[in-house]
Amino acid sequence: MNISHSLLHWYSQNKRPLPWRETRDPYKIWLSEVILQQTRVAQGTEYYHRFLVAFPDVQSLADADEQDVLKLWQGLGYYSRARNMHHTAKEVVEKHNGIFPQTAEGLKKLKGIGDYTAAAIASICFDESVAVLDGNVARVISRLYAINTPVDSNEGRKTITDLANNLLDTNHPGTFNQAVMELGALVCTPKSPACNACPIAFACEALKIKQIENFPVKTPKKTPTIRHLNYLVISFKKEKEKFILMRKRTGNDIWKNMYDFPCIESIVASDTDEVLESCVKSGFFGGFPFVVKHVSDEYIHQLSHRRLLARFIRIEVKGVPKLTDNITAVRKDRIAELPLPRLIDRYLATLL
C-alpha cells in the first residue's frame, strides 16, 4: 500500500463524525474552515450550528447587519474573520449571483479567502486536485519527509505544498486533504505523536532517524509587543437609569467596529493617579465631580503578536460626561447586546 492509500483507508475507519463532513455546500464548508482556523473543534462546532441557524445561506449572511454578525462571533476572537466573511458574502451575492467560484484561483479573489481556505473549498466541494496547507498538514509532511526548512517560511511552505500535491490522491482530493488534517489532529499531534497507531509510519523519515521532536522546524519567535491599557469604566445616573460609557473602535487597530471602554494607553505601566489626572485635564468627566469606586487587578490578554495588560478603573461621575462620535452612553443592562472583545466580556462578567 502507498502513502495516500494508507491514509485514505485510515481516514475511512477513524474520522470524527463532524457536521461539516456531511455536506459539500461551499457556504457551509467555508464557514467551518473560517471558524476552525483559530478555534478548537468542540467550541467551533457550537458556533458553526449557531451561525447556520442565524444565517443558513450566503444570501442571509449578506443581508445581515455587521453588528449582528460580530455579536454572533463574540468569543471566537480574530474578529477580522467575521468582518471578512460578511464582506465576502455580499460579494458572492452581488458579483456572482450567490454562487461561489468553483476553483481555488477563483475563490482566492474573494476577500479573506487565502490559499488554505480556497484549496479546502475547491477540493472538498468541487473535486479540484489541490492540496491544503494548514498547521496539521505542515506538521505531518515535515515529519514524513524530515524537512529542515522552517515550515513558517515562504520556502518551507512551498516545499511542503509541493510534496502534499505530489502525494494527493487526484481521485479523492477533498477526502485526501481531510485525511492528512485528521491525522495531524488525532495521531501526528504536536506533542507525543502516536506513531504506533500511524498508518504512514512505514514511510516516516523523522521516525526512521528518531528525531520526531525536531520537526517541524520553525523560525524562532519574536517577543510579542506589550500594550498597557488603562480602561475607564465610567458610569453615571440619568433619570434613575445607570449608564456606562462605551467606545466604538473605529480605527485600523485590533477589534475594529467592536466596543470597549474609553481607554488611556501607555507604553509602560502608569499609576491610577496619573491616568485620572490626564482624564481631568482632557475634560473627560465633563467637569463633574467623580469617585473612583474600584481598580481591578491586571488582566493579561494574549493576541497573536501582542500581549495586552489591562486595568479597569471604575469611576462614578455626578453628571453626564463628555460624549463624542465614538463614545456613547449605554444603559448598563444593554451592554451585553453589543459586540464585545473577549477581554471586555471577561471583565464585565465580574461587574454585571
Residue 164 as a binder of ligand SF4 (CB under 6 A): the answer is no
In the bound state with ligand SF4, the residue whose beta carbon lies nearer, of 165 and 278, is 165
Q: Minimal distance in Å, beta carbon 132 to ligand SF4? A: 17
Residue 187 as a binder of ligand SF4 (CB under 6 A): the answer is yes
The three-class DSSP label of residue 352 is coil
Q: Which residue stretches of 15-146 are H helix?
A: 26-36, 41-54, 58-63, 66-73, 80-96, 104-108, 115-126, 135-144
Residue 313 as a binder of ligand SF4 (CB under 6 A): the answer is no
The three-class DSSP label of residue 37 is coil
Q: Minimal distance in Å, beta carbon 200 to ligand SF4? A: 5
What is the CB neighbour count within 10 angstroms for residue 113?
Answer: 24
Count of residues engaged in binding ligand SF4, rule: CB under 6 A: 14
Q: Which member of 22, 33, 316, 337 is catalytic?
A: 33
The set of residues, in sequence order, having a beta carbon less than 8 Å from that of 157 and lying 6+ positions away, is: 133, 138, 151
The set of residues, in sequence order, having a beta carbon less than 8 Å from that of 78 and lying 6+ positions away, is: 37, 38, 304
Cα–Cα distance measured from residue 50 to residue 45, given in angstroms and rounded to the nearest whole number: 9
In the bound state with ligand SF4, the residue whose beta carbon lies nearer, of 64 and 212, is 212
Q: Minimal distance in Å, beta carbon 22 to ligand SF4? A: 27
DSSP state for residue 223 in the 8-state scheme:
P
Cα–Cα distance measured from residue 124 to residue 127, given in angstroms and rounded to the nearest whole number: 6
Cα–Cα distance measured from residue 23 to residue 192, given in angstroms and rounded to the nearest whole number: 32
Q: Active site includes 22?
A: no
Which residues, 86 to 145, sit near ligand SF4 by CB under 6 A? 140, 143-144
Q: Minimal distance in Å, beta carbon 208 to ligand SF4? A: 9
Residue 188 as a binder of ligand SF4 (CB under 6 A): the answer is yes
In the bound state with ligand SF4, the residue whose beta carbon lies nearer, of 85 and 137, is 137
Site string for ligand SF4, 192-211 (x = CB under 6 A): -x-x--x-xx--x-xx----
Per-residue buried b or exposed e for 43-69, using 16+ beta carbons within 10 Å of the residue's own CB: ebbebbeebbeebeebeebbebeeeeb
In the bound state with ligand SF4, the residue whose beta carbon lies nearer, of 201 and 336, is 201
In the bound state with ligand SF4, the residue whose beta carbon lies nearer, of 185 and 212, is 212
> Exactly one of 41, 185, 212, 320 binds ligand SF4 (CB under 6 A); which one?
212
CB contact at 8 A, 26 and 121 = yes
Q: Minimal distance in Å, beta carbon 36 to ligand SF4? A: 21
Q: Minimal distance in Å, beta carbon 215 to ligand SF4? A: 7
Residues known to be catalytic: 33
Instruction: Name the site residues for ligand SF4 (rule: CB under 6 A).
Output: 140, 143-144, 187-188, 193, 195, 198, 200-201, 204, 206-207, 212
